[in-house]
Structure 1
Amino acid sequence: MKRSTLVIACLLSVTSIVAVAEDGSDRARARWEAFQASHAQAHAEAAQKTLTAQTKNNGSSAADTTEQKQQPDT
């Protein structure tokens, strides 16, 4: 391969890489922020479901214990 052909091929490669990579950091940052937001939302929903389940379990067990206290010993 001639030296001039090699230089032109390298220049075209670098130019195309720069054109594709242009604005790449902004897209990566936007994807990362969207990922963090969706991740935080998923954790918040999971925490809310856990809290609701714990509240239901605590409420039913509290009702069971009051019923047991009201029954006379036989």
Structure 2
Amino acid sequence: EEMAELKAQLYLLEKEKKALELKLSTREAQEQAYLVHIEHLKSEVEEHQEQRRRSLNSTGSSAGAKDKSGK
């Protein structure tokens, strides 16, 4: 009887272990997806900053040209 209880407990523990392993695997995959998304967002931010710099530089040089021609 005690052996049957131990076997039942072992079965439940193995089942719980498999569920936890699956949960861990899912979280690891989710973490990787988040890391890829973060890198993508960082590159988008860098791209927008570079476009803004170029825009400000071209605006600044054309404004400088207007000042010189206006004098």
User: Please, what TM-score do these two structures have when normalized by structure 2?
Assistant: 0.70
Cα separation, 2, equivalents of 1:15 and 1:26: 16
| 1:27 matched to 2:29 | no
- Taking the aligned partners of 2:18 and 2:24, their CA distance within structure 1 comes to 13
Shift, 1:10, TM fit: 4.5
**Bigger Cα displacement from structure 2, 61-70 vs 17-26:** 17-26
Instruction: Using the aligned pairs only, state the percent identity.
Output: 12
Within the alignment, does 1:41 sit opposite 2:51 as a pair?
Answer: no
Partner amino acid, structure 2, of 1:62: S
Aligned to 1:16: 15
Between the aligned partners of 1:9 and 1:50, the Cα distance in structure 2 is 61
Question: Which residue in 1 is equivalent to 2:69?
Answer: 70
Alignment-mate amino acid for residue 59 of structure 1: S
RMSD over aligned Cα atoms: 2.6
| Structure 2 gap ranges (5+) | none
Which consecutive unaligned segments of at least 5 residues does structure 1 have? none
> What letter matches 2:21 in structure 1?
E
TM-score normalised to structure 1 length: 0.68
User: Number of paired residues?
Assistant: 70
* Larger helix fraction of residues: 2
